[in-house]
């Protein structure tokens, strides 16, 4: 029924907004800038909850063949790069600016498709990509709270995000569903981030973290892990119940809602030029969603 489809979309928006707000709170307000531990915790809880949900029959997860898991490892590596660099960037950037840079990942996706598959780009899609890239390039010059490190990590994040999007669409192991792919991502992430915790200094730094014994910190970390898992389920439900075109619309609305509400929760400093960059990027994304009615990317 139509109303149930709207409930699914609105639920996705709600979980999306709360997830990003919770992550932003832990990373920026509490200043827990130790992404190997933060993302390692989230992916560990995600793996546990996904496995438990499969055992209870809430979701369908079959035995994963070793060959299928190994073939998916390049995607898992890109996934780790996406979440690690994304945490670094989000801890230094305001949410509207973070999404503006993230939107440029679509440019990376189409550059890879053009170089690898020789894909032709529609003129409307090309215009939207150009505006996204233009907004992302100009935003650092107008950001009132410009942080070089944040933008450097944001660039890594958008590259990994764009490459992962292409890999996920064009490399589909016959034995792995979306949830099983994510389960492999979780396991690989936990292993890699655990190994990286000491070399990056996160393990030593967290021992001096001032909020380590705070109930607010514990609650924020637990909420972020649970919300990350719920967002995964909401995304899978969204993709299974809607066409690619409508999935893009709901994701776009989720980002707009998060961006619009973020000044009510966090201290966001903007000026006219930076606002124009953000607005231009979202107008370009709306054009991209409209032009993607027959394309998976």
Q: What is the pLDDT of residues 106-158, one digit of tens each?
A: 999 999 988 887 777 788 889 999 999 999 999 999 999 899 999 999 999 99
d(C-alpha 5, C-alpha 11), whole Å: 10
Q: For position 127, what pLDDT does the model report?
A: 92
Three-state DSSP class for residue 50? helix
d(C-alpha 42, C-alpha 189), whole Å: 10
Q: For position 117, what pLDDT does the model report?
A: 77
Q: What percent of the chain has pLDDT over 70?
A: 91
Express each pLDDT in 95-107 by its tens digit: 999 999 999 999 9
| Neighbouring residues of 58: CB distance < 8 A, sequence distance ≥ 6 | none
pLDDT interval class at 209 (50, 70, 90)? low
Q: For position 213, what pLDDT does the model report?
A: 63
d(C-alpha 48, C-alpha 54), whole Å: 10
Q: For position 52, what pLDDT does the model report?
A: 92
Task: DSSP letter for 268, please.
Answer: -
Which of 167, 153, 202 lies closest to 72, judged by CA? 167
Three-state DSSP class for residue 145? coil
Positive or negative, the Cα torsion across 45, 59, 247, 123? Answer: positive
d(C-alpha 47, C-alpha 130), whole Å: 38
Which of 17, 68, 38, 56 lies closest to 265, judged by CA? 17
Which of 284, 260, 283, 256 lies closest to 270, judged by CA? 260
Express each pLDDT in 55-85 by its tens digit: 888 888 888 888 888 889 999 999 999 999 9
150 phi/psi in degrees, rounded to 5: -60, -45
Q: Under a CB-based contact definition with an 8 Å cutoff, are residues 247 and 239 in contact? A: yes
In this structure, which long-range contacts are made by residues 48-54, counting pairs with CB atoms below 8 Å and at least 24 apart in sequence?
49/226, 49/229, 50/179, 50/182, 50/183, 50/186, 50/229, 50/232, 51/183, 54/179
Q: For position 47, what pLDDT does the model report?
A: 93
| Neighbouring residues of 103: CB distance < 8 A, sequence distance ≥ 6 | 132, 135, 136, 281, 282, 284, 285
Tokens for 202, please give them.
Answer: 């996160």
pTM of the predicted structure, to 2 decimals? 0.91
Positive or negative, the Cα torsion across 274, 280, 283, 287? Answer: negative
């Amino acid at each position: 029924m139509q109303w149930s489809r709207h409930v699914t979309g609105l639920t996705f928006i709600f979980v999306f907004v709360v997830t990003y707000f919770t992550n932003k709170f832990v990373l920026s307000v509490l200043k827990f800038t130790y992404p190997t531990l933060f993302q390692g915790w989230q992916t560990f809880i995600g793996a546990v909850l996904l496995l438990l949900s499969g055992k209870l029959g809430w979701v369908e997860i079959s035995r994963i063949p070793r060959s299928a898991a190994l073939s998916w490892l390049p995607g898992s590596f890109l996934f780790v790069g996406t979440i690690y660099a994304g945490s670094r960037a989000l801890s230094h950037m305001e949410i509207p600016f973070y999404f503006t840079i993230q939107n440029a990942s679509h440019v990376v996706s189409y550059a890879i498709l053009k170089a690898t598959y020789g894909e032709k780009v529609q003129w409307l899609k090309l215009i939207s990509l150009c505006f996204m890239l233009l907004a992302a390039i100009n935003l650092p010059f107008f950001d009132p709270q410009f942080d070089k490190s944040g933008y450097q990590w944001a660039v890594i994040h958008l590259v990994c995000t764009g490459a992962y999007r292409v890999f996920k669409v064009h490399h589909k192991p016959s034995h792995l569903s979306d949830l099983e792919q994510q389960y492999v991502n979780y396991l690989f992430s936990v292993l890699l981030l655990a190994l990286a915790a000491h070399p990056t200094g996160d393990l030593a730094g967290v021992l001096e973290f001032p909020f380590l014994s705070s109930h607010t910190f514990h609650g924020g970390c637990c909420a972020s892990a649970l919300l990350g898992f719920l967002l995964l389920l909401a995304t899978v439900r969204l993709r299974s119940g809607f066409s690619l075109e409508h999935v893009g619309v709901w994701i776009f609305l989720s980002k707009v809602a998060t961006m619009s509400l973020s000044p009510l929760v966090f201290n966001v400093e903007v000026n006219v030029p930076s606002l124009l960059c953000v607005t231009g990027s979202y107008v370009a994304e709306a054009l991209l969603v409209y032009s993607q009615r027959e394309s998976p990317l």
